[in-house]
Amino acid sequence: MLTSFLLLAGCSLIQGLMGDSKKTVSEADALLKAGDLSGATAMYDAALAKSPTDVDLAVGASYGHLLMGDTAKADSILAAAEADAKDKLGDVKLRRALVAMQVGDLDKVKEYASASGLPVGKLLAAEVNLADGDRDAAKVLLDAVATTPGEVGSTASAYLQLMGDSNALVGGLSEAQALWAVGKRKVAVRSVEDLVKAYAETREDGADQLLLWAGRAATVGETDISVNLLDAITVPPAGQAWRVQATRAMNACASGDGATCTSMFEAIKAIAPADGYVDARATAAVLLAPKDGAAAKALLDGYSGDAVARALAETGDSAGAANVAADPVFKKQLGG
């Protein structure tokens, strides 16, 4: 549930660690904002070479290499920083857990997240335990952070509520949620149909969960599961009728039926919120691209933003993607 926002919090965590390295971090941040990821990373690397024990610089350098896709370099920099991390060791360990998440090494994710001692690290380790089916170990960690203010505590409490349900199927939904959170998305979707249907029978937010998982199933190409979950929704959640139809359109795209997908999106354009509509259309284009690149590009014609850029990149149109991207780093990567 929680891990997706962690990888997006890189700059804020770097800023939070700043000590004597404020000037380098500030200048590197300016380069990032200008879209110069390689320049920012090179600045961190050069500063770190002169001050190899500076944890702030190590965090910045590792983050740059992570964004550039060099996970081995990112982890090696963090590993070298541990000896001098002192009170920042927990942050460094958490960073190593996030790098391991990118690699898909869940054993390392659990090891480093637990070793961080941070509430968010304990939550992440609990999610790995749940994904492995070890509810007892997960519960110990979740109990420890359930009263933490903010998203960490609320997420832990939500897991505990599912795990404590008298209906074993509802309890099993906690493991599916954790599988999705740690990146085992197809496994999560393939396990969830009966679980979320059981949940929906007794919960007020049942339709929300059915729609959530139907959308997730669509994004990983599990169209049969997605359709079954959509069909189980008797009344769409308030204001979400457009999402039901958008998800059906995604399933059409995932099946290679670009014409039906496009016509379904056009039918809901007037009732859908602008941002959500564009994101859904871009997701559908990503699903369609491997089967019909031309139709996927047509689905994106006239739209812009990072989601659209990512979808265009999936069709092989890097130049077009760079033209519509909003994030300067992403734009430069696409144009580079």
- pLDDT score at 282: 98
Distance between CA atoms of residues 133 and 142, nearest Å: 14
List C-alpha distances in Å: 215 to 22, 31, 186, 331: 42, 36, 12, 27
Residue type at position 227: V
b/e per residue, 31-52, with b = 16+ CB within 10 A? bbeebbbbbbbebbbebbeeee
- pLDDT score at 336: 60
Distance between CA atoms of residues 211 and 247, nearest Å: 8
Residues 6+ apart with CB under 8 A from 151: 2, 5
**Would you give per-residue pLDDT tens digits along the chain (336 residues)?**
444 434 434 444 444 444 457 788 888 888 878 888 889 999 999 999 998 888 989 999 999 999 899 999 999 999 999 999 999 999 999 999 999 999 999 999 999 999 999 999 999 999 999 999 999 999 999 999 999 999 999 999 999 999 999 999 999 999 999 999 999 999 999 999 999 999 999 999 999 999 999 999 999 999 999 999 999 999 999 999 999 999 999 999 999 999 999 999 999 999 999 999 999 999 999 999 999 999 999 999 999 999 999 999 999 999 999 999 998 888 888 876
Region of residue 159 (left: phi > 0; alpha: psi -120 to 50; beta: else)? alpha
Residue 250 and residue 277 in contact, taking contact as beta carbons nearer than 8 Å: no
Residue 328 and residue 33 in contact, taking contact as beta carbons nearer than 8 Å: yes
